[in-house]
Amino acid sequence: MTTTTPSLHAQAALRRLHAQLGQQRWRGLGLALQVEVLALFAIIAAFVFWQARLAFAAAWFSQGPRGALLTLAGALAALTAACAVVAGVNANGRVRRSPLRTLWLSLPFEEHGLAGHIAWDARMHAAPLAALFPILLLSASGYTPPWTLMVAGIGFGAAFLAATRAASALGPALAPRERERPLVAGPPVRALLVVRSERGVRPRPAAAWARHPAWLTWWAKDAAIAWRRASGWLSLLLAGALALGSSLVWIVGPPTWPRYLIGLTAAVAAAIVFAEWVVALAGHDPFVAVRSLPLSPASVWSGRFLWVVLFTLVLLIMHLGALGSLRGPARSLYALWLGGASLGIGTLAVNYGVTLFPNARIAQRLLGLAVGFSLLALFVLPPFSGPIALGWALLHSARRLPRWHRLEEE
């Protein structure tokens, strides 16, 4: 009893700490972003209800109540699998690159206690996705008996706990870990004990003074960092592959395909990946060194915005060169939508990267929320709701730009 009590107290204290940090992050978003997050979840819930309701109706008319019940079981199974994937990926990332790895090892955790806390933390990240299961039960009401909905809810709860627990155990097991087994430690502790050695710093030539505009010098500095850091090449290659594939759809795609829709979707995906790379590039700058330089927000913003302009020009050139079958006003409208989407998403990334510097991860999360909200709005209420939502996010993010020098590292 004396050996397990400290571990249980440490787990409870750490969980309370995580809850307090979560509340602080939620309050730190501000009222506008809080409303946006809640509105995003409401739109997702309404969309899931609408689509699931149509699927249950089609299954009931074709196969009767049995078909609706099978459809509900399949939907809940897919949701359980998605929650398990989220939990497994989160558990794997926690033991590989969480800043709390040293704290976890210093606390009086036993092996099963540490694994239990990692599983609890991963399950909490999968809980927002699991919150959609009442929407599925509500959409199935009227097509299946009420008692089946109760059984399905209980079954989903048990399946969620079992699947996320198994995925949370599998995630640390797949992480790189010490080859030599330290004492009797299992996969979580062995993964947390991994210490990655930094690469040797190669000598650089001495800096030379030159008279260039501040924004151009800032862009050249970003280019040098992007060239020397191989970690960002994967995102650039993915963005380039998506951009090339989106333009090749007009050449190799059959005429029966909705090529404009496929090409525009792939191009927007390329713009999103490139925007995340722009935000990640902002996180490589040392906070103290950058804030000590005589830089204005306009210089930093312009240097980063140049990346967005170059990417948009390359994307437009590739697509306009492949638009052989699209002529006249349709060609101009397609180019307007493509260029506007790329510039809008890229500009939002630049705004978040500058105003939230050096918190690149938070900036990427807010970028994903804003872009996801805009895409959902575009899909639910086309065609102008998406650009309106994106424009609102741009205005909201641009309000913090004049206060760039008054922001502090958190």
345 falls within a domain: yes
14 falls within a domain: no
pLDDT for res 357: 77
Are residues 94 and 230 located together in one domain of the fold? Answer: no
Are residues 163 and 249 located together in one domain of the fold? Answer: no
204 falls within a domain: no
Question: How does pLDDT run across 318-363, given as a tens digit for each residue?
Answer: 888 877 666 777 778 888 888 888 999 999 999 888 888 777 777 8
Are residues 250 and 398 located together in one domain of the fold? Answer: yes
Last residue of a domain, one of 192, 224, 254: 192
Are residues 284 and 375 located together in one domain of the fold? Answer: yes
Write down the pTM of the prediction.
Answer: 0.59
pLDDT for res 182: 46
Are residues 122 and 243 located together in one domain of the fold? Answer: no
Print the domain residue range for 285: 214-406
pLDDT for res 310: 93
Are residues 172 and 258 located together in one domain of the fold? Answer: no
Question: How does pLDDT run across 90-117, given as a tens digit for each residue?
Answer: 777 777 666 566 666 666 666 666 677 7
273 falls within a domain: yes
Are residues 386 and 265 located together in one domain of the fold? Answer: yes
> What pairs with residue 141 in β-bridges?
144
206 falls within a domain: no
pLDDT-flagged residues of the chain (< 50) = 1-4, 178-184, 197-198, 408-410
Nearest alpha carbon to residue 44 among 129, 124, 125, 139: 129
pLDDT for res 410: 46
26 falls within a domain: no
Are residues 163 and 254 located together in one domain of the fold? Answer: no
pLDDT for res 2: 42
Are residues 382 and 315 located together in one domain of the fold? Answer: yes
Count of domains observed in the chain: 2
Are residues 181 and 230 located together in one domain of the fold? Answer: no
Last residue of a domain, one of 159, 192, 225: 192
DSSP string, 100-160: THHHHHHS---HHHHHHHHHHHHHHHHHHHHTTHHHHHHHHBTTB-HHHHHHHHHHHHHHH
pLDDT for res 215: 78
Location of structure tokens 């191009």: 267
